[in-house]
Chains A and B, each alone.
Chain A
Amino acid sequence: AQSVTQLDSHVSVSEGTPVLLRCNYSSSYSPSLFWYVQHPNKGLQLLLKYTSAATLVKGINGFEAEFKKSETSFHLTKPSAHMSDAAEYFCVVKGGKLIFGQGTELSVKP
């Protein structure tokens, strides 16, 4: 069985401060993990993916995530938030099926 839990439904940061979006997963398989972003009324855009290569994965727009098997976590970070980062973020795990987390809404204050 596989599941993914995004630990925060909403995160609010000030522009220029770090971003941390937390994701924990469980999978019977050696998983592939993804982070997607969705801006209002838009489709889903891939930020980054982990597929059993380097544990620290760099993505687009300055985002990165670290795969920690011992903690079953795949948290998304960015050193400095920008107003355009405000969106919904989804952590996704693929073992057999492809399962989405419930999403974390990121707000960025000026």
Chain B
Amino acid sequence: NAGVTQTPKFRILKIGQSMTLQCAQDMNHNYMYWYRQDPGMGLKLIYYSVGAGITDKGEVPNGYNVSRSTTEDFPLRLELAAPSQTSVYFCATQSLAAGNTIYFGEGSWLTVV
């Protein structure tokens, strides 16, 4: 049981490049979330999904896109990377049946130069 797996763990991007952060879970959880955490700050919700085929914007969606074609995967896409997107990204999942426990990935450190 791998839980929540985020890849890559570290990445350096040049301004204007695009990339996808992967998030996969094997717990059959309905809810999945993407957060960013800037140095010394809290977590800001980028996008979330309540199930396959359903996504919605969070607090800071600009510059990002997501898709949820399967229950297991919730990739986060950066189309035109900007220095302001330098951050640590966390994926999280949650199942109502599990007493609302939230499971986090280990984080992806992204630097845009």
Which A residues form the contact surface with B (CB < 8 A)? Answer: 32, 34, 43-44, 46, 49, 51, 90, 92, 94, 97-103
Contact of B73 with A by CB under 8 A: no
Which B residues form the contact surface with A (CB < 8 A)? Answer: 31, 33, 35, 41-45, 48, 56, 58-59, 90, 92, 94, 99-102, 104-107
Given known A43-B106, A43-B107, A90-B42, contact A98–B101 (CB-CB < 8 A): no
Contact in complex: A98, B102 (CB < 8 Å): yes
Contact in complex: B43, A51 (CB < 8 Å): no
Q: Find the residue from B31, B41, B43, B104 having the highest chain A CB count within 10 A.
A: B43
Contact in complex: A97, B48 (CB < 8 Å): yes
Given known A43-B90, A43-B107, contact A100–B42 (CB-CB < 8 A): yes
Q: Which residues of B contact A43 (CB under 8 A)?
A: 90, 104-107
Least CB distance from B76 to A in Å reads 16
| Complexed CA–CA distance, A97 and B47 (Å) | 10
| Complexed CA–CA distance, A51 and B44 (Å) | 22
| Complexed CA–CA distance, A58 and B35 (Å) | 27
| Complexed CA–CA distance, A90 and B33 (Å) | 16
Option from A32, A34, A46, A99 in Cβ contact (under 8 Å) with B45: A99
| Complexed CA–CA distance, A43 and B100 (Å) | 19
Least CB distance from A43 to B in Å reads 5
Q: List 7 A-B contacts (CB under 8 A).
A: A43-B107, A44-B104, A49-B99, A94-B100, A97-B45, A100-B35, A103-B41
